[in-house]
């Protein structure tokens, strides 16, 4: 069905209402949809897919959605999926969709092709990679969070989009982890003249403020499509930090933060997050247990055994501090961003009405 939606979407290019010249759209993943955005203060840049040019004045745009790819760095796939969601929402005419690509080429595990002056990010999560706000391999003064800052400022510029009212920053999987951390750490919220909100989909981990974690009894019983009463996840202090030293370190906690996030105290970070609107988009069927690797080690397993469990638990945890965060269980979806971005509940979050 969703592939059919994309076919209809592409057909719409030829059947537009005659306003295409006034409101040019790029709604494929072709080369015409690609643009480079410079990340100040230097000349280094990132590649983005976008549905409208980011430098041509356009007074029809009132909303923007930035969607961050997963670990495979397939920005064009996220762009297409977000386009499909915007089509379902009837939001293409007034929404600019931007999908940045955090390219990585470390000569071993990741080998993306890089353009001249394109920023090259870390590929290995153990080395604080792009999803954790890490710095570029070819410019240690710039982080991926700085890159998104540049995008937000560009979109919020009245010279380009004079009627823009809001920006939704969304990400799935590794992109969801990126957004969860960016929502906590950025200093643009409330300072760029447009509303910012955040959508975190199926992240592998979440930043806890203290040593409270879901009880092991709850974690052991949470590996089902229906975790039960998700409003009352029990928590307890984790006293074994010496046996699991990473449990309170970034991205599982606030310790050992990278440069961008280290500029603020832990109390400031906590205050920022609880004041900001965040939606946790959790797939009902994303219940494959972690069995090893970085997120299957003790620091991750303390947060839950599956992505669904971890998201449910974290929402319950932050709900003890704030009422600005909400949870959406996405029916019928597993670990699939196309399914999430085009679901009925989610399109209303990513593409709010004018």
Write out pLDDT tens, residues 191-234.
999 999 999 999 999 999 999 999 999 998 876 655 555 557 99
CA distance 165 to 18: 25
H or E, element range at 142: strand 139-143
Kindly state the average pLDDT of the residues 259-267: 97
263: three-class secondary structure by DSSP: coil
Q: Which residues contact 323 (CB under 8 A, 6 or more apart)?
A: none
239: three-class secondary structure by DSSP: coil
What integer pLDDT is reported at residue 230 of this predicted model?
A: 53
What integer pLDDT is reported at residue 13 of this predicted model?
A: 39
CA distance 99 to 49: 5
CA distance 173 to 118: 24
What integer pLDDT is reported at residue 155 of this predicted model?
A: 98
Kindly state the average pLDDT of the residues 106-132: 94
- Give the residue from 224, 351, 233 showing the smallest Cα distance to 302: 233
Write out pLDDT tens, residues 269-315.
999 999 999 999 999 999 999 999 999 999 999 999 999 999 999 99
Write out pLDDT tens, residues 10-66.
444 333 433 433 455 888 767 789 999 999 999 999 999 999 999 999 999 999 999
Return the higher-pLDDT residue of 32 and 97.
Answer: 97
What integer pLDDT is reported at residue 265 of this predicted model?
A: 98
Q: Which residues contact 71 (CB under 8 A, 6 or more apart)?
A: 131, 173, 174
pTM confidence score:
0.92
CA distance 326 to 151: 25
Q: Hey, CA dihedral for 233, 236, 237, 238, is it positive or negative?
A: negative
CA distance 163 to 60: 7
Contact of 346 with 328, CB cutoff 8 Å: yes
Sketch out the chain's domains with CATH numbers: 27-350 (3.40.50.1820)
CA distance 306 to 290: 6
Cβ burial, residue 330 (10 Å; 0-12/13-18/19+): buried
Cα radius of gyration rounded to whole Å, the chain: 20
Q: What single string gives the DSSP state of each residue in 174-215?
A: HHHHHHHHHHHH-S-TTSSSSEEEEEEES-S----SSSEEE-
- Supply the DSSP symbol for 335: S
Contact of 188 with 196, CB cutoff 8 Å: yes
Kindly report the average pLDDT of the chain as a whole number: 90
**Residue linked to tokens 């993943």:** 29
What confidence tier does 354 reach under pLDDT thresholds 50, 70, 90? Answer: low
Contact of 267 with 313, CB cutoff 8 Å: no
CA distance 36 to 45: 6
Q: Hey, CA dihedral for 13, 46, 194, 185, is it positive or negative?
A: positive
Write out pLDDT tens, residues 224-255.
655 555 557 999 999 776 789 899 999 999 99
Contact of 62 with 93, CB cutoff 8 Å: no
Kindly state the average pLDDT of the residues 132-142: 97
**Residue linked to tokens 């933060």:** 257
323: pLDDT strictly greater than 50: yes
- Supply the DSSP symbol for 342: T
Provide the phi-psi class of 282: left if phi over 0, else alpha when psi is between -120 and 50, else beta: beta
Furthest-apart CA pair in the chain: how many Å?
A: 65
Kindly state the average pLDDT of the residues 139-168: 97
């Amino acid at each position: 069905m969703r592939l059919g939606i994309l076919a209809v979407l592409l057909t719409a290019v030829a059947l537009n209402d005659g306003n295409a010249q006034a409101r040019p759209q790029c709604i494929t993943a072709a080369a015409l949809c690609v643009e480079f955005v410079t990340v100040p203060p230097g000349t280094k840049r990132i590649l983005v897919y976008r549905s409208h040019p980011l430098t041509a004045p356009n007074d029809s745009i009132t909303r923007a959605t930035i969607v961050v790819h997963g670990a495979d760095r397939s920005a064009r796939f996220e762009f297409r999926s977000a386009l499909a969601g915007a089509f379902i929402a009837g939001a293409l005419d007034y929404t600019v969709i931007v999908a940045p690509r955090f390219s990585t080429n470390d000569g071993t595990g990741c080998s993306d092709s890089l353009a001249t002056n394109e920023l090259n990010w870390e590929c290995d999560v153990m080395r604080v990679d792009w999803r954790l706000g890490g710095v570029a391999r070819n410019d240690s003064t710039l982080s991926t969070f700085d890159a998104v800052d540049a995008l937000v400022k560009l979109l919020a510029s009245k010279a380009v989009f004079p009627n823009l009212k809001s920006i939704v920053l969304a990400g799935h999987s590794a992109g969801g982890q990126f957004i969860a951390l960016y929502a906590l750490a950025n200093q643009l919220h409330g300072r760029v003249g447009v509303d910012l909100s955040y959508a975190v989909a199926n992240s592998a981990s979440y930043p806890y403020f203290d040593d409270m974690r879901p009880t092991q009894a709850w974690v052991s019983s949470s590996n089902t499509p229906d975790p039960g009463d998700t409003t009352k996840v029990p928590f307890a202090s984790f006293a074994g930090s010496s046996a699991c030293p990473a449990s309170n370190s970034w991205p599982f906690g606030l310790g050992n933060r990278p440069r961008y996030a280290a500029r603020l105290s832990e109390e400031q970070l906590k205050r920022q997050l609880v004041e900001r609107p965040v939606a946790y988009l959790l797939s009902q069927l994303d219940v494959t247990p972690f069995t090893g690797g970085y997120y299957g080690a003790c620091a991750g397993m303390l947060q839950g055994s599956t992505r669904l469990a971890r998201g449910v638990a974290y929402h319950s945890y932050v709900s003890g501090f704030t009422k600005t965060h909400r949870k959406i269980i996405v029916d019928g979806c597993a670990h699939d961003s196309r399914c999430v971005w085009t679901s009925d509940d989610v399109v209303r979050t990513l593409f709010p009405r004018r």
